[in-house]
Amino acid sequence: MSLSKRITEDIATARHRDPAARSGVEVLLTYSGVHAVWGYRLAHRLHARGARLPARAVSQLTRFLTGVEIHPGATIGRRFFIDHGMGVVIGETTVIGDDVMLYHGVTLGGTSSNRGKRHPTIEDHVVVGAGSSILGPVTIGAHSGVGAGAVVLTDAPADSLLTGVPVKPRSRTPHTPYFYI
């Protein structure tokens, strides 16, 4: 996908996900979560080419400018949106699928200093509420919602609603309030 098409898709995603977005120009100029994703993409491209120090420098500059820290080694799918951005941390071995949305203050972190997979995998169509922490090499199944302030330490199957500290996964039913995905 070309750079211009990717930028257009990111702006359309922000406008779709955030009812406060009034125009594409507004998103382009003022949405720190979108800017953080763009900075991540540049850093990730450098990281993948073996330019690790420049990748980390771009990542840290992006963090300084947006308040969002995304390790250049993370893998992020399409139409990823961070609403209100500030305080989001995404670790090096995190894998995020398509159509995922994070709110402010989310941590996708590790629980060990071992090399290898130590951060979460977030499958497609997942919404993660403000202030949530998903820690360790756990998997959050597709079409799940993580409630605000939840602490996730274990895997969750697809179509789960995760709430509490630590979470107690529940099956999402048609009558369960759910995040807009």
Count of CB atoms situated within 10 Å of the CB of 117? 14
Question: How far, rounded to the nearest angstrom, does the alpha carbon of residue 167 sit from its chain's CA centroid?
Answer: 19
Tens of pLDDT along the chain (181 residues) come to 788 899 999 999 999 999 999 999 999 999 999 999 999 999 999 999 999 999 999 999 999 999 999 999 999 999 999 999 899 999 999 999 999 999 999 999 998 888 899 999 999 999 999 999 999 999 999 999 999 999 999 999 999 999 988 887 777 765 554 444 4
Domain boundary assignment for the chain: 3-171
Q: Tokens standing for 47?
A: 């990281």
Question: Tokens 């951005």 sit at which residue?
Answer: 85
Q: Output the pTM of the full model.
A: 0.90
Q: Provide the residue type at 50 as one letter.
A: G
C-alpha span between 142 and 28 (Å, rounded): 29
CATH class assigned to 3-171:
mainly beta
